[in-house]
Amino acid sequence: MLQMMKMSSVVHFEMPAKDKKRVSEFYTKVFGWQMQLMDEKMGNYLLANTTPTDHKTMRPAEPGAINGGFFDFEDNELNRAPHVVISVANLDQSIKAVQDAGGEILGEKMDIPNVGMYVSIKDTEGNLVGMLQSSER
């Protein structure tokens, strides 16, 4: 008998940017997104708030909505293409599941302060995807 597994949802998107000021102005003018450049400690990451955020949890207030961000474009596999981030309950178990299913883990797990543990993967089709085990808030 097939056991039903809890689905993991997409919780974030990321896209590369060559010019943070230019991309910030574009998405603000075209879509009304609120953009916030993080400090150097966070890698000069540009947050993209696409939907109202609950200030207590720092997550989208509307169920199913996601926010995103822009990272520095680099001409390498990890940093030149958009990707989504999927929430997982247990990152170590999900890493094993990716490997068992024929996917590849790219790099090491990293702690994102006040957010959770993150790792990049490549699926069986070559798509780049992030996995995030949220910090308890």
**pTM of the predicted model, to two decimals?**
0.81
Residue 117 reports pLDDT greater than 80: yes
Q: Using an 8 Å Cβ cutoff, are 43 and 71 in contact?
A: yes
Mapped onto helix, strand or coil, the DSSP state of residue 23 is helix
Predicted pLDDT at 39: 75
Percent over 70 (pLDDT), the chain: 92
101 compared with 42, residue with greater pLDDT: 101
Predicted pLDDT at 1: 44
Could you give the CA distance from residue 133 to residue 112 in angstroms, rounded to a whole number? 10
- Residues 31-53 have pLDDT tens digits of 899 999 987 666 688 999 999 88
